[in-house]
């Protein structure tokens, strides 16, 4: 009877030990997973930060290029207006001048960026790029 | 046609010079060499301007040979008041 009890107790102790080991292993795995998750989050955060920086950089370059191209247009149309004083030549020159002001303002904001969400910044960048394509084509046909 | 005249003669870099060429051709049809001499412009410049004007239907040449004589098209003649508006202000 006593012997039987002893064996039973030993077996139970073994069970408990095994269970503890299982729990410990699970905990290890869980900790490891958490580590991986944290690392992934770090990578993702860094990625978003880089993306934000690139977006701002592209927007700045586009705005700067627009300013240069618009200076060319203001030069051509301004000179034409001096030779041919008409509302047509004046209209073109004023248009280019105001678009130049818009891009100068945009560049100022890109260099001193207010708190802005990444999607908003990306949208601004796309507008600036589309504007660049339009202005570049206008310079191409006006250079003739 | 009026929009084309404004664009080609007043809205582009070479516009004012093209307007001078057109004025000269209205006075008397000439070839590229005579135009270069009369307006004191480089032959290459005159050649380029004549091509732009011809592509846009502002002027036409008597034939495609070397030394072709250019003159304003009928289309340009019908809108001559627009041309005058531009040309009258040039030196």
User: Is the model's pLDDT at B64 over the cut of 60?
Assistant: yes
Q: Which residues 43-82 of B have a C-beta within 8 angstroms of A?
A: 52
**Containing domain of residue B25, as a range?**
2-87
When pLDDT is cut at 50, 70 and 90, the band that residue A43 belongs to is low
- Put simply, the answer to whether B6 touches A88 (Cβ < 8 Å) is yes
3 state DSSP class of B41: coil
Q: For A79-93, how does the pLDDT look when each residue is reduced to its tens digit (9 = 90+)?
A: 999 999 999 999 999
Angle of helix A87-111 relative to helix B2-10, nearest 10 degrees, comes to 60
Interface pTM, i.e. ipTM: 0.89
Mean pLDDT of chain A: 82
Chain centroid, CA A113 distance in Å? 13
Total domains, chain A: 1
When pLDDT is cut at 50, 70 and 90, the band that residue B63 belongs to is confident
CATH value at residue B75: 1.10.10.10
Total domains, chain B: 1
Return the residue of B nearest to A92 by Cα: B11
Residues of A in contact with B86 (CB under 8 A): 84, 86
Chain centroid, CA B90 distance in Å? 14
* Residues B2 and A132 sit within 8 Å (Cβ to Cβ): no
**Containing domain of residue A23, as a range?**
2-142
- Put simply, the answer to whether A142 touches B19 (Cβ < 8 Å) is no
B11 CB within 8 Å of a chain A CB: yes
- Put simply, the answer to whether A88 touches B12 (Cβ < 8 Å) is no
């Amino acid at each position: 009877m006593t012997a039987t009890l002893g064996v039973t107790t030993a077996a139970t102790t073994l069970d408990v030990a095994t269970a503890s080991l299982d729990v410990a292993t699970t905990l290890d795995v869980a900790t490891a997973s958490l580590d991986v998750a944290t690392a992934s989050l770090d990578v993702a955060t860094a990625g978003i930060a880089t993306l934000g920086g690139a977006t701002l950089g592209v927007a700045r370059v586009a705005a700067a290029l627009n300013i240069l191209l618009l200076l060319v247009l203001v030069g051509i149309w301004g000179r034409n207006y001096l030779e041919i004083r008409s509302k047509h030549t004046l209209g073109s020159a004023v248009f280019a001048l105001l678009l130049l002001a818009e891009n100068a303002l945009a560049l100022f904001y890109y260099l001193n960026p207010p708190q802005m969400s990444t999607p908003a910044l990306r949208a601004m960048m796309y507008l600036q790029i589309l504007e660049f394509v339009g202005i570049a084509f206008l310079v191409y046909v006006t250079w003739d | 046609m009026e929009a084309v005249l404004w664009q080609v003669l007043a809205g582009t870099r070479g516009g004012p010079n093209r307007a001078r060429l057109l004025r000269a051709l209205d006075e008397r049809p000439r070839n590229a060499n005579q135009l270069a001499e009369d307006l004191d412009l480089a032959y290459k410049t005159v050649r380029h301007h004549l091509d732009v004007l011809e592509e846009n239907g502002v002027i036409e040449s008597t034939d495609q040979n070397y030394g072709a004589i250019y003159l304003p098209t009928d289309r340009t003649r019908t809108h001559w008041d627009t041309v005058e508006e531009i040309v009258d202000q040039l030196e």
